[in-house]
Amino acid sequence: MTKIALITGATSGIGKATAIRFAQNKIRLILCGRRKDRLEQLKKELSEFVAVTTLCFDVGDQDAVKRNIQGLGSPWENIDILVNNAGGAHGLDLFEHGKIDDWERMIDFNVKGLLYVSKFVIPGMIKRNKGQIINISSIAGKQTYAKGMVYCASKSGVEAISKGMRLELVPHGIRVCNIAPGAVDTEFSTVRFKGDKVKADKVYENYSPLLADDIADSIYYCVNVPAHVQIADMTIFPAAQSDATTIHRN
Ligand code: 8X3
């Protein structure tokens, strides 16, 4: 049987591009997201390539996470690959102007959500003595920038969790890969700027940003390496980017 991957945040951006890449390569899919209509549409599109099921829940809701993942029956319960992708940035403000609601969402989705999903997937991997976990971090997890302190803190959390998971899970035959993208042109900035498309588009102006497909390529590479190889950490920039806040624009 082909592998099974569970992808969070599968309805857009990196999650969706990864789902498509996996489907084209016959990896069966458990697509997770909050938007049922988008989940069902993607399921319809990808079912011609591979078996697909969907779980509609919010990663920040621990009861819903538990119910949905533990409720997976045959043939979906043996998850080989977990892609912890759900999350995002909310606001880009000086700390003194930061909104507590934005902080809550970033900590709830980017850190707690990742932990909740992992909590209910990892025991099966341990039991089977195999598995691959891909945590989607960010350059913001490696470098803190002004106005992004809480987002950076949440992604630093992801970096720490990836390292901790690797320390604890390698003895169980589970490989953990942390992927830290720089600027990727997805809905990321539109969400960060609360729907302000003009502001969001400026982030990707006058250079070629990464596309979700570029990150999906790297994720597929990481899950497809030989069994004795573990890609522990990957930082991916567009060619024009040199650190979190330095981008060479034409
Ligand atoms: C997205 C990249 O540089 O906007 O995680 O924080 S950045």
Count structural domains, the chain: 1
> In terms of residue numbers, what domain contains 37?
4-236
- Stretch 20-44: mean pLDDT: 98
Residue 243 belongs to a domain = no
- Predicted confidence at residue 94, as pLDDT, reads 98
What gap in Å lies between CA 46 and CA 102, rounded to an integer?
33
111 in Cβ contact with 62 (< 8 Å): no
For the stretch 98-127, pLDDT in tens is: 999 999 999 999 999 999 999 999 999 999
* The pLDDT of residue 158 is above 90: yes
* The pLDDT of residue 59 is above 90: yes
* The pLDDT of residue 35 is above 80: yes
239 in Cβ contact with 250 (< 8 Å): no
What tokens were used for 82?
């977990």
Q: What pTM was estimated for this model as a whole? A: 0.97
* The pLDDT of residue 237 is above 80: yes
What gap in Å lies between CA 21 and CA 122, rounded to an integer?
23
15 in Cβ contact with 7 (< 8 Å): yes
* The pLDDT of residue 20 is above 90: yes
For the stretch 61-91, pLDDT in tens is: 999 999 999 999 999 999 999 999 999 999 9
Catalytic residue among 116, 151, 220, 221: 151
What gap in Å lies between CA 90 and CA 166, rounded to an integer?
28
The percent helix, strand, coil of the chain (3-state, each to 5) is 45, 20, 35
Residue 162 belongs to a domain = yes
10: phi then psi, degrees, rounded to nearest 5: -80, -5
For residue 231, what is the domain's CATH number? 3.40.50.720
Residue 249 belongs to a domain = no
- Predicted confidence at residue 150, as pLDDT, reads 98
Query: Is the beta carbon of 156 within 6 A of some atom in ligand 1?
Result: no
* The pLDDT of residue 19 is above 80: yes
Residue 246 belongs to a domain = no
* The pLDDT of residue 1 is above 80: no
Distance 229 CA to ligand 1 centre (A): 28
220 catalytically annotated: no
What tokens were used for 72?
């997976």
Distance 119 CA to ligand 1 centre (A): 26
